Copies of this chain bind each other. A is one copy, B any other.
Amino acid sequence: MIKAFAGQHLLSVQELSLEAVETVFSVADRMVPFAERRMVTRVLEGAILGNMFFEPSTRTRVSFGCAFNLLGGEVRETIGMESSSLAKGESLEDTARVLSGYSDVIVMRHPEEGAVDRFAQASRVPVLNGGDGAREHPTQALLDLYTIRRERAALGLSLEGLRIALMGDLRYGRAVHSLVQLLNLYPAIEFHLISPPELALPPVYEEALRSRGHRVFRHDTLAPGLAAADIVYVTRTQEERFPSPEEAARYRGLFRLNQAVYTEHCAPQTVIMHPLPRDSRAGAQELDSDLDAHPALAIFRQADNGVVIRMALFALCLDVVGDVEKDLKPVRWYTGGRRP
């Protein structure tokens, strides 16, 4: 079954079956000792990642690069549209054919929807979508779902019977759209969609959930949704998209999660997630920093999980899962700050 990933692209969450997602997660579990710096593997020593970010991104770019380094490989990188070749009229297909001659796998982020697909079709090596415009960011969805599973497992629970509140701007956020598609592969989940009506989850996603038998509840205030959830997935409320500032002002107080709101409305141990970055400027603060020390705040564990998910995807598409644990070396350097 793992062989099915060898040489394959990952362009969209829509390509992923339940079985495929579970494979990624089981491989990700095996990557934890490396990401936590307990052991060193060199399975990809000599391999090269082309980390091609035609749109700037620090977090996702560095996370992919680290994941490849942790498997022993090297990273060659492009940041932004410095590429004068594209400016000189080179087609995306030509760029793909040339760059895929230099590396063993390519991660690509591009500001245009569909650009990563076109690039992948011409590439001679596997391509992982690092985000194409507002369309897809499949590794974010995978790390979100992986985080949900680990947080549940830490409480002795599986995904079955999960009650998740998705809160904020559910209309435009691609992270939410991709996550609900992955959750829809699993049985019997209860969704609490907390948003102003203007920013509700697009009907196509909600209908897909209902048609698979999930229970879906809509809320336009915080309290009932929070109270019913095991996990709250907070997103940035993009107030600039509201029809008017007055309209936005109506919901402003309702869509902030902070210590007081959490204590009043959430059950103990309710897990808090956020795809990050969160907006910490006064007037935004959809997830207040006064919760930073709370043990149920999973947002930095969530970011950390990006590394093991990306390691798993590299190991799968380069077909080295069976060799990762061979020839291990111990970590000899200080790692005191890394282990929770």
Instruction: Report A's interface with B, CB cutoff 8 A.
Output: 6-7, 37, 40-48, 50, 56-59, 62-63, 65-66, 69-70, 72, 74-80, 82-85, 88-91, 93-95, 97-104, 123-126, 236, 276-281, 284, 289, 300, 303-304, 307, 317-320, 323, 329, 331-338
Provided the pairs A82-B56, A83-B56 are in contact, do residues A336 and B277 lie with their beta carbons within 8 angstroms?
no
Q: Flag if B319 contacts A101 (CB, 8 Å).
A: no
In the assembled complex, the Cα of A99 lies from the Cα of B62 at a distance in Å of 8
> In the complex, what residues of B have CB within 8 A of residue A329's CB?
45-46
B94 and A276 contact, CB distance less than 8 A: yes
6 contacts between A and B (CB under 8 A): A56-B82, A89-B278, A94-B276, A101-B300, A317-B334, A319-B333
Are B289's CB and A93's CB within 8 A?
yes
- Please, which residues of chain B bring their CB within 8 A of the CB of A40? 45-46
**Contacts A62-B99, A98-B300, A101-B300: A89 and B284 contacting too (C-beta < 8 A)?**
yes
* Contact, CB under 8 Å: B334 / A319: yes
Q: Is the CB of A279 within 8 A of B62?
A: no
Contact B83 A58 (CB under 8 A): yes
Interface centre among A37, A44, A90, A100 (most CB of B within 10 A): A90
Among all A-B residue pairs, the 4 with the closest Cβ atoms = A40-B46, A90-B277, A89-B279, A318-B333
CA distance A337 to B123 in the complex (A): 8
Chain B hits for A37, CB < 8 A: 46-47, 104
Given contacts A89-B277, A89-B284, 14 further A-B contacts (CB under 8 A): A7-B336, A37-B104, A46-B329, A62-B102, A79-B79, A89-B280, A90-B279, A94-B277, A94-B280, A101-B303, A101-B304, A124-B338, A319-B333, A319-B334
Q: Tell me, rounded to whole Å, the shortest Cβ–Cβ distance linking A159 to chain B.
A: 24
Choose among B47, B77, B78 the residue that contacts A333 (Cβ–Cβ < 8 A). B47
B7 lies within 8 A of A101 (CB): no
Q: Is the CB of A334 within 8 A of B6?
A: yes
Q: Bound complex: CA of A50 vs CA of B46, how far in Å?
A: 19
Contacts of A56 in B (CB 8 A): 82-84
**Bound: A42/B45 CA distance, A:** 9
A85, A284, A307, A320, most chain B CB atoms within 10 A:
A85
B residues less than 8 Å from A318 (CB atoms) = 333-334
Q: Is the Cβ of A333 less than 8 Å from the Cβ of B304?
A: no
Which among A44, A93, A317, A337 has the greatest number of chain B C-beta atoms within 10 A? A337
Give the one of A6, A62, A335 with max B CB within 10 A.
A62
